[in-house]
Amino acid sequence: MITKLITFIFFYSRLAAANNLYPKYHLSPDRGWMNDPNGFCFFNGVYHLFYQHNPYSSYGPGIVHWGHAVSTDFFHWKHLPVALNPDQWYDDGGVFSGSCLVDAGKMYLYYTGNVYHEGETPDHSQYQALATSDDGYNIVKYEMNPIINGSGFQPDLRDPKIWKHGDKYYMVLGNSFKGESNETLGRILLWESSDKINWEKASILLESDGRLGYMFECPDFFELDGHWVLLFSPQGVKPEGDKYKNLFQTGHIIGDFSYDTKTFTPLYDFQELDHGHDFYATQTTLDEDGSRVVIAWMDMWDQNYPEMDQGFAGQMTLARKLKLGKNGILLQKPVKDIDAARGRVLHSGVTRGGKVIKLVNNTAEILIRSSPLLNLDVFIESEGNQVQISYDHQKGTITLDRGGKDAVRRTNWRPLGKLTWRLYIDSSSIELFCGNGEVTFSSRFFPTGPVSIRLGRQSMIDNMTVRSMKQTV
């Protein structure tokens, strides 16, 4: 018995030590694969976050399930059993992404049932389905599923996001269609319902003219500070200078919307929401104070990151509060409950070039306040790996270079007043928030040992505070 116990402890402590890429305060699956956030909601005093999940392997989504975790502060997460399994004729090729409507004291989980047709063209079709829960934990699929069979819109019709307005319910869905020259183009459809079950197509909110690619995934549509935000993940956007360098993008169009005509009138062009390597398939919800909070999958399709060999893949970004900025920009700030994850202060004060600070547990919150007229270089280093984040005051750019293949991401940014940065490091991720959150970078990195941060020789910081972060997951 004792020998068994010792072997057990030895095995699990080795597993934990080997899991050095596993995040300390970001949500990641307890095992297996994770992609998109799903069903993000606040229900009966608790935040529920479902996600695309393969419980059996970290090497890909497989026939995808819905994983499930709960939190009261977006940092301490409890893993729950798989919420939705691919066990019906209309979802046996995967329980794809969807969202949660909290209404009349119940959870309504809308999702896409994917079905494969091997050897046929097209080789899949997608249905919209419903599952409900009275308590947030026992989840039952609706007997009469699917609720939208999508004929006329196949084969790519997915990722329903639902909200209520007055006594009506609305749903946005990602879709693709054939353009004039038979090319495939992305679009977002609006559907409406009076009873949450029977849905009619209401309008087309947005169509790609080719520049925005062939499919729009994970649409979200909400009012923010007097305008409307259409947030989505287009596939097939061609790189253009420093823009659109990831395999797929996530971004938004700010505009106005009329419930009478069901039309969306863009006021600005499409803008990427984040400038890092790993930010996709966002979903928003209202927090307990009624503020709009966004979360994204901090990863990207087809990356084969080294964590897969450690038994897990994928993680979520920090939850970020959204505000509408100027010129069609969205401002993102970590939610205030980040306090719950803050550890002890490792360094604080004026900081000169060359300074090295060893992190604790490869985690940190780094707050920087500095002159906008000086260049700044911060290196995040372990033995075999280096990430450099630089501000070039002459060019007005920020560059994140994580080394290796496809290393550099860059965007324009000029601080209003002092340069202020908030930088979050967690085992294998970096999130940078600039100024009021008008520019963010979210990128994965893969340290091979203890991480230090080092200030470039020419840099000089008026005030830099470095804290460790607690282990909350």
Give me the active site residues, please: 36
Cβ nearer to ligand FRU, comparing 218 with 237? 218
- 281, 298, 322, 400: residue in contact with ligand FRU (rule CB under 6 A): 281
In the window 369-428, what residues touch ligand FRU (CB under 6 A)? Answer: none
**For the chain, how are helix, strand and coil distributed in percent, rounded to 5?**
5, 55, 40
- 28, 54, 112, 315: residue in contact with ligand FRU (rule CB under 6 A): 112
171 binds ligand FRU (CB under 6 A): no
Cβ nearer to ligand FRU, comparing 100 with 469? 100
- 21, 34, 49, 64: residue in contact with ligand FRU (rule CB under 6 A): 64
Round to whole Å and give the CA distance between 316 and 325.
24
C-beta of 467: minimal distance to ligand FRU in Å? Answer: 33
58 binds ligand FRU (CB under 6 A): no
Cβ nearer to ligand FRU, comparing 283 with 443? 283
Please provide residue 9's backbone torsions phi and psi, each rounded to the nearest 5 degrees.
-65, -45
Name the nearest CA neighbour of 116 among 152, 64, 165, 81: 64
Cβ nearer to ligand FRU, comparing 159 with 365? 159
C-beta of 158: minimal distance to ligand FRU in Å? Answer: 5
109 binds ligand FRU (CB under 6 A): no
97 binds ligand FRU (CB under 6 A): yes
C-beta of 97: minimal distance to ligand FRU in Å? Answer: 3
Cβ nearer to ligand FRU, comparing 58 with 382? 58
125 binds ligand FRU (CB under 6 A): no
C-beta of 261: minimal distance to ligand FRU in Å? Answer: 28
Round to whole Å and give the CA distance between 23 and 28.
7
C-beta of 170: minimal distance to ligand FRU in Å? Answer: 19
Who contacts 139 (Cβ-Cβ below 8 Å, separation ≥6)?
83, 84, 107, 109, 131, 132, 133
- 48, 53, 158, 187: residue in contact with ligand FRU (rule CB under 6 A): 158
- 33, 66, 77, 96: residue in contact with ligand FRU (rule CB under 6 A): 96
DSSP 8-74: HHHHHHHHHHH-TTS-SSS---SSEEEEEEEEEEEETTEEEEEEEEETT-SS--SS-EEEEEEESSS
Distances from the Cα of 357 to the Cα of 44, 346, 428, 452, 455, angstroms: 42, 8, 18, 5, 9
Name the burial class of residue 339, with classes exposed (0-12), middle (13-18) and buried (19+) by CB atoms within 10 angstroms of its CB: exposed
Cβ nearer to ligand FRU, comparing 281 with 293? 281
C-beta of 248: minimal distance to ligand FRU in Å? Answer: 8
451 binds ligand FRU (CB under 6 A): no
Who contacts 17 (Cβ-Cβ below 8 Å, separation ≥6)?
none
First-to-last CA distance in the chain? 30
Neighbours of 182 (CB within 10 A): 6
Please provide residue 15's backbone torsions phi and psi, each rounded to the nearest 5 degrees.
-60, -45
Name the nearest CA neighbour of 52 among 101, 3, 96: 96
35 binds ligand FRU (CB under 6 A): yes
C-beta of 249: minimal distance to ligand FRU in Å? Answer: 12
Are 222 and 205 contacting, i.e. CB atoms less than 8 angstroms apart? Answer: no
52 binds ligand FRU (CB under 6 A): yes
Round to whole Å and give the CA distance between 341 and 102.
28
Cβ nearer to ligand FRU, comparing 300 with 331? 300
In the window 216-245, what residues touch ligand FRU (CB under 6 A)? Answer: 217-218
Cβ nearer to ligand FRU, comparing 35 with 363? 35
Q: How many residues bind ligand FRU (CB under 6 A)?
A: 14
- Chain-centre distance for alpha carbon 191: 24
Name the nearest CA neighbour of 19 among 313, 278, 261, 295: 313
- Binding site residues, ligand FRU, CB under 6 A: 35-36, 52, 61, 64, 96-97, 112, 158-159, 217-218, 280-281
